């Protein structure tokens, strides 16, 4: 485990303390779970951006291939 020091806005800290008192969870565990959740959200957003960029790169080629298929005569 790594030890870190951080500054938290007073309002965020106060709200967190109220929640912790009600759910009976250690502050350290709560913060670790919050960071883990936020990391998952960020990884998902990074992947979405990457997929969108790659999709845009192949869009013109995909449309060209689709047009070629549409122009193909499949008559027996």
Sequential DSSP letters for 32-53: HHHHHHHHHHHHHHHHHHHHHH
pLDDT given for residue 74 in this prediction: 67
Look at the block and give the residue holding tokens 């990391």. Answer: 39
Would the pLDDT of 76 be above 70? no
Residue-wise pLDDT for 16-66, tens only, equals 999 999 999 999 999 999 999 999 999 999 999 999 988 888 887 888 888
Are residues 16 and 30 in contact, defined by beta-carbon separation less than 8 angstroms? yes
Domain that holds residue 67: 10-71
pLDDT given for residue 14 in this prediction: 97
- Per the confidence metrics, is the pTM higher than 0.75? no
**Residue 38 vs residues 34, 45, 51, 65, 70: alpha-carbon distances, Å:** 6, 11, 20, 40, 45
d(CA 1, CA 14): 25
Residue 63, domain member (yes or no): yes
Residue 2, domain member (yes or no): no
How many other β-carbons are positioned within 10 Å of the β-carbon of residue 14? Answer: 11
What is the domain count for the chain?
1
């Amino acid at each position: 485990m790594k030890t870190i020091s951080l500054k938290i806005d007073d309002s965020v800290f106060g709200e967190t303390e109220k929640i912790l008192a009600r759910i009976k969870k250690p502050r350290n565990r709560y913060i670790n779970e919050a960071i883990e959740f936020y990391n998952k959200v960020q990884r998902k957003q990074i992947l979405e951006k990457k997929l969108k960029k790659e999709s845009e790169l192949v869009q013109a080629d995909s449309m060209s291939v689709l047009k070629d298929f549409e122009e193909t005569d499949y008559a027996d």
